[in-house]
Amino acid sequence: MNQIIDEGVSVRIEVFFDIETKRIFDEIEGNDPADLGISIISVFKRENGAGKMYSFWEEDFAQMWSLFSNADRIIGFNSLHFDVPAMAPIAPYDFKKLKHFDIMDQVKNALGFRIGLGAIAKETLGHTKIDHGLNAVKYWAQHTPESLAKLKKYCEADVMVTKEVYDFGMKNKFLKFKDKWNTVRTFPVNFSYPVKIAEPQLGLF
């Protein structure tokens, strides 16, 4: 008989991340995120139940990649359609081939349309993003100690909101949003890891 192995969350390595860019799409030709340039990347790595936040400016990007390489799941919001392609020019390997988990894709699969992280967090968690992505570009352009501190705080806060939405969905199997009629809606999600089936060991005789 095959044995079902359901590994505990505590033994997994999960990495949550978010990026901020130097430009917006209106400032470039085309719509390739790789052309926006990255100002900062924030990463929260959780291993054996404990986690730590890291933030990397451009000169520190080379130190970042080891955080992703052995992750069981790399979690972001709209990450496969924005963050991952934006990071392609700076990645030392094919970053998109790692074990990504895009919450946005899970939401779209459940509802048939896209909803922003802030809207989901507001109804699901009772709090939301602390700032707007357009301001993140302004903070980089200002490039003062104060504005860069705001940029770092915003990026790290987005990572934590992503983590909280993920953890809520993992535990409760649903998320919430407010529809165009101002009604709070609940929808199911399944963030569970695939269950591994261990092959039976054959006897010697």
Q: pTM of the full predicted structure?
A: 0.88
- For 43-101, write each residue's pLDDT tens digit: 999 998 789 999 999 999 999 999 999 999 999 999 999 999 999 999 999 999 999 99
What local confidence, expressed as pLDDT, does residue 49 receive?
79
- For 144-177, write each residue's pLDDT tens digit: 999 999 999 999 999 999 999 999 999 999 999 9
- In the predicted structure, residue 1 carries a pLDDT above the cut 80: no
What local confidence, expressed as pLDDT, does residue 83 receive?
96
DSSP 6-61: ---GGG-EEEEEEEEESS-GGGSSSS-GGGS-EEEEEEEEEETTEEEEEEEEGGGG
- As assigned by CATH, the class of the 10-190 domain is alpha beta
- For 4-51, write each residue's pLDDT tens digit: 333 444 479 999 999 999 998 888 887 889 989 999 999 999 998 789
What local confidence, expressed as pLDDT, does residue 204 receive?
53
What local confidence, expressed as pLDDT, does residue 162 receive?
97
Per domain, the residue ranges of the chain are 10-190
Picking from 65, 189, 59, the residue whose alpha carbon sits closest to that of residue 124 is: 189
- Residue for token digits 């934006």? 86
Helix ranges (DSSP H) in 70-116: 84-87, 103-111
Rg for the chain (alpha carbons), in Å? 19
H or E element in which residue 146 lies: helix 145-172
- Residue for token digits 């209106």? 26
What local confidence, expressed as pLDDT, does residue 24 receive?
86
What local confidence, expressed as pLDDT, does residue 132 receive?
83
